[in-house]
Every structure is written in C-alpha cells, then in structure tokens.
Amino acid sequence: MSDKKEYPEVIDIKSADDMPPMPVSLGSMRTNKTASWRSIRPVIIEEKCKLCMICWKYCPEPAIVPTCPPTIDYDYCKGCGICIEECPFDAIVSEKEGK
C-alpha cells in the first residue's frame, strides 16, 4: 500500500462539447469523500489489536486497509460502526466525530 494517496480530479463539465454522446463515466467516485457522513469515528487501539482483519473484512466502503495494525481511511469512513461491533477483541472504540 503506497503512502501517497491519489485522489482523482473532480470532473468539471463546462459544455456539451466536453460530454460523451451518452452518459458514460469519466472518473471514479473516489472524488466523493464520504467522511462528512460520520457522526462517530472508529479508532483502533493498537495494543489490543490481534491483526485478525475482521474489521477490514466487514467494511462496506471499504475504508480500512489491511496493514499492521489496520489503517482506517478517514476520508471515506462513514462511521457505520460495523468494525467496532464485529471486532472480537474490543480493539476498536467509538469516538464522537468533530472532537
């Protein structure tokens, strides 16, 4: 996993000439940082983490990368809390967003 994160350009369509003949995608939804959806954020407690990767496995975005310990991508995490609920070692806690 590279340290440098790449965000695709936001596509700015100024005229009909910039558009393909039919609606066909020109870029990735990665431009849409869903961080703003959160009201709580999951935080991994490294000492408790046993590297089982269950959090990574069950993330619907996915906003977790399977590093040691797993890295939560806070640009995309929607704060659903599945990782907190599913962690068998209580190694992820919920913190209020906007602290």
Partner 1 sequence: MSAEAETKKRKIKLTIPEEEIMSPGHLACQGCGGALAMRYALKALGRKTIMAIPACCWSVIDGPFPYSAAGIPIHHSAFETAASTASGISHALSQLGQDDVTALAWAGDGGTFDIGIQALSGAAERGDNIIYIVYDNEAYMNTGIQRSSATPHGAWTTTTPVKHYKRGPKKNIIEIMVAHHIPYCATANIAYPEDLIRKVKKAKEIKGTKFLHIHSPCPPGWKYPPNITIKVARLATETNAFPLYEVESGVYKINKKRKNPKPVSEYLKLQGRFRHLTEEEIEYIQGEVNKNWRRLLKLEEVFGEPLE
Partner 2 sequence: MKKVLTGNFAAAYGAAAARVKIIPAYPITPQTTIVEIMSEIVADGLLDADFVKVESEHSALAACIGAQATGARTFTATSAQGLALMHEMLHWAARDRLPIVLANVNRAMAPGWSIWADVTDSIAQRDTGWMQMYCENNQEVFDTILMSYKIGENEDVLLPTLVNLDAFFLSHTSQIVDMYEQKKIDKFLPPYRPKLKLDVNDPRAFGALTSPEHYYEFSYKMQIAHQRAKEVIREVGKEFSETFGREYGLTENYRCDDAEIILVSYGTIAGTTKDAIDRMRDKGISVGLLKIRYFRPFPEKEVCQILGRAEKVGVIDRAVSFGHEGPFFSEIKASMYGSNVPLYGFITGLGGRDVSISNIESMVSHMQDNEPSNLIWIGVKK
What's the closest the beta carbon of residue 81 comes to partner 1, in angstroms?
3
Q: Any idea of the CA torsion for 94, 70, 52, 87, to the nearest 10 degrees? A: 10
Q: Applying CB under 8 A, which residues contact partner 1?
A: 11, 13, 23-34, 37, 51, 53, 56-58, 60-63, 66, 68, 73, 75-76, 78-82, 84-86
Q: Any idea of the CA torsion for 11, 12, 14, 17, to the nearest 10 degrees? A: -10
Residue 10 near partner 2 by CB under 8 A: no
Residue 36 near partner 2 by CB under 8 A: no
Q: Which does 15 bind (CB under 5 to 8 A by kind): partner 2, partner 1, none?
A: partner 2
Q: Any idea of the CA torsion for 55, 75, 29, 86, to the nearest 10 degrees? A: 20
Return the DSSP state at 54: H
What's the closest the beta carbon of residue 98 comes to partner 1, in angstroms?
16
Q: Which does 14 bind (CB under 5 to 8 A by kind): partner 1, partner 2, none?
A: none
